[in-house]
Amino acid sequence: MALLALLFGALLNAPGMHKASFNKQQGAERDIALALTGGLAGVSGALQLDRPRHLVQSIAGRSDADEIDVAIEIPETTAKPTNAKTPKPAVANPPGKPKFTPNRKLRLWVAGDSLVITPGYSIVRAAGASPVIEAVGGVDGHVATGLTRPDVFNWFVEIRTQVKKLKPHVVVLNFGGNDDKAYMTGLPEGTTIGGFGGPTWQEEYRRRVAGVMDIINRAGGTVVWLGLPITRSETQTQRFDIVNAVVQKEAKKRGSKAIFVDTYTMFAGDTGGYTEYLENAKGDKVKVRAGDGVHFDNEGGDIIAREVLKQLNTTFDLTSWRLANG
């Protein structure tokens, strides 16, 4: 009876088990799990034993929870390498910086993986203290996600949806903390990639980074991409270097429409290595990194927020309205 009960329970939960198997790292364990749960899901569907699960999910507003979504819609990039020759514009005087005022505020949205959460809240607080910046959409942070695994969370759909809904002028992003691995889903048909950091891996990751930037740029927004920081682990830091290099190169192609914030050097110690503590503006040593050696502490988030606001003041006109108001 106990065995029958377990089998019946597995059939009821088969779609969720199949998705969990799909989300495992590539390898023999994943292949076996997919084969077993795929068969269970097929039987469950045929006997309509998955109906109660789908009903509960529908009531909870999660009717797509068991769907395995790996579709990546990426616009064809028009960004050019920084060394590409471009004709000089016919207009002698380039347009001024986009101007924002208390009556027309700069709309700012923050999104990304777990590394964006603490700095994101610091940025939102800083925006709240500014009369010309409005944070929209809160901090859209999803732990253990990134651009390599749209089956876990499809950021390409999320960014396209939220940009259309929120209409931000600036999108602050952080990705890559979970992308330093070889395995990717959502590859174009017929595409294969080698090991992490190799030429084919970098080309596919570059395509995804470019796609995210282009989605935002084509909607009229500017990207502020927070680079990955130095970490306690030297090997992890080396992997983060590869991710940062791809992102930084893509950002440079877009001029003022994509800003790369170098958190690596920002949080390096006096000798260039990892440190948990840095001096603040008052000269006091403060804890800037979380205990895991990767994420940021609140003081670290505030440092990033100040740098982001500095970049926004360089890119946009956020102050001339004061002169007009006397």
What pLDDT, in 10s, does the model give residues 70-113?
668 777 766 666 555 555 554 444 568 999 999 999 999 999 99
3-state secondary structure at position 242: helix
C-beta atoms surrounding 104 within 10 Å? 13
Residue 229 in this model has a pLDDT that exceeds 90: yes
Give the pLDDT confidence score for residue 223 in this predicted structure.
Answer: 98
Give the pLDDT confidence score for residue 88 in this predicted structure.
Answer: 52
Residue 64 in this model has a pLDDT that exceeds 60: no
Residue 10 in this model has a pLDDT that exceeds 60: no
Structure tokens at 69: 């979504």
Q: Which long-range contacts (CB under 8 A, 24 or more apart) does 32-41 make?
A: 40/10, 40/11, 40/14, 41/14, 41/15, 41/17
Give the pLDDT confidence score for residue 324 in this predicted structure.
Answer: 72
Identify the band that residue 33 occupies on the pLDDT scale cut at 50, 70 and 90.
low
Give the pLDDT confidence score for residue 4 in this predicted structure.
Answer: 56
| CATH tag for 106-324 (out of 3.40.50.1110, 3.40.220.10, 3.30.930.10, 3.40.630.30) | 3.40.50.1110
Tens of pLDDT, residues 233-285? 999 999 999 999 999 999 999 999 999 999 999 999 999 999 999 998 788 99
Query: What is the C-alpha separation between 289 and 303, in angstroms, rounded?
Result: 11
3-state secondary structure at position 10: helix
In this prediction, residues 137-150 reach a mean pLDDT of 96
Share of the chain above pLDDT 70, in %: 71
Give, as one character, the DSSP assignment of residue 283. Answer: S
Residue 45 in this model has a pLDDT that exceeds 80: no
Least confident of 138-147, 259-268, 276-285, 304-313: 276-285
Higher pLDDT, 8 or 218: 218
Give the pLDDT confidence score for residue 70 in this predicted structure.
Answer: 63
Identify the band that residue 203 occupies on the pLDDT scale cut at 50, 70 and 90.
very high
Mean pLDDT of the chain: 84
Least confident of 13-17, 145-149, 240-244: 13-17
Residue 39 in this model has a pLDDT that exceeds 80: no
Candidates 81, 232, 110; CA nearest to 171 is 110
In this prediction, residues 139-151 reach a mean pLDDT of 96
Candidates 226, 228, 227, 234; CA nearest to 273 is 234
In this prediction, residues 308-322 reach a mean pLDDT of 96
Query: What is the C-alpha separation between 33 and 45, in angstroms, rounded?
Result: 18
Give residues with Cβ within 8 angstroms of 2, minimum separation 6: none
Query: What is the C-alpha separation between 253 and 275, in angstroms, rounded?
Result: 32
Identify the band that residue 151 occupies on the pLDDT scale cut at 50, 70 and 90.
very high
CB-based contact 41:22 (threshold 8 Å): no
Residue 173 in this model has a pLDDT that exceeds 60: yes
Give the pLDDT confidence score for residue 26 in this predicted structure.
Answer: 46
